[in-house]
Copies of this chain bind each other. A is one copy, B any other.
Amino acid sequence: MKQMKDSIIPPITTPIVDGEISQRHLKSNIEKWNKTRLGGYLVLGSTGEAPLLSYEEKIRVIAAAREATPPGKVLVAGTGEESTRKTIELTRKAAELGAEVALVGNPHYFKAQLTMDCLYDHYVALADASPIPVIPYNSPGFTGINMTPDLIGRLSRHPNVVGVKDGTGNVVQLAGFRRLGGPDFLIFSGNAPSFLAALFVGISGGMMPITNLYPDLWVDLLEHYRTGALEDARRLEARLLPMTATVMKYGVGGMKVGLDILGFYGGSPLMPLKAPQPEAVEEIRTAMEKVAA
């Protein structure tokens, strides 16, 4: 998975038309993104509304993304389920459909019982069974469980666990992942406001929801940092973060509004999520105009 290093891979949204997944719109969105310098696509993340989709719908999303994703870009699929068995089953299916990497959110419903040892066994069982590399996804804001650097360090020794995605924005934790995971372990952040500081402590790249919008600017930000153009990086960050705060306030629905504004297909999220109200749409549009300016 060398090609994932130094890349931005957005967790892309899942287009819904009349309450149903639209493979057609998903493919046309990806085709637009293919013209950018994104490193690939993550389907079925939180931003892809994966928890709201059935097994069959998930399969259709992966299949459509596979068709539209060209060889130069990596296709990552979110395959985490609450049970180990269902996670293995979906991961194998995703691999069969052409996903190259599995991004795997933690089981968390039974959080009082799920010790770090339970999670370790879960991920090892999965990594043993998976035909494709596995990347655990640590997102305590969604799950209520934090994967410790110690756990990630232990998991990094499994040859099929190639990295971690972290949504906390906690740079001390990210530095711990780097120290315990070693120099080649892939570390992706899902938190945009801390992304530049996270690069400073050694992460590999970004999987932030907001990179659905203006993806090449985020690639620029990463490249500025890598080439030592720090002032350019900070200026660009200052331009991107206010818009990021505005869009993220409205969750998946806000992201979809942003896509509509940029000429992609956004649409509405599935219930119980709601589409932003008209004033929110205007707020998002205004914030985006400031980036484009």
| Residues of chain A whose beta carbon lies under 8 Å from any beta carbon of chain B | 19, 46, 51-55, 82-86, 107, 109-114, 118-119, 121-122, 125, 141-142, 144, 169-172, 175, 179, 193-194, 196-197, 200-201, 238, 250-253, 270-274
Contact = CB atoms under 8 A, between A and B. Distances in A.
Contacts of A238: 179
Nearest to A270: B83
A273 B54 contact: no
A272 B55 contact: no
Nearest to A82: B51
Contacts of A274: 113, 118, 121
Contact of A83 (B110, B175, B179, B272): B272
9 contacts: A52-B86, A54-B55, A83-B270, A83-B272, A84-B270, A84-B271, A113-B252, A121-B271, A172-B194
Contacts of A109: 46, 51, 142
A118 B175 contact: no
A55 B86 CA distance: 11
Contact of A272 (B122, B170, B253): B122
Contacts of A86: 52, 54
Contacts of A196: 201
Contacts of A250: 113
A54 B89 CA distance: 11
Q: Which of A55, A110, A175, A274 has the most CB of B within 10 A?
A: A110
Nearest to A174: B197
A272 B119 contact: yes
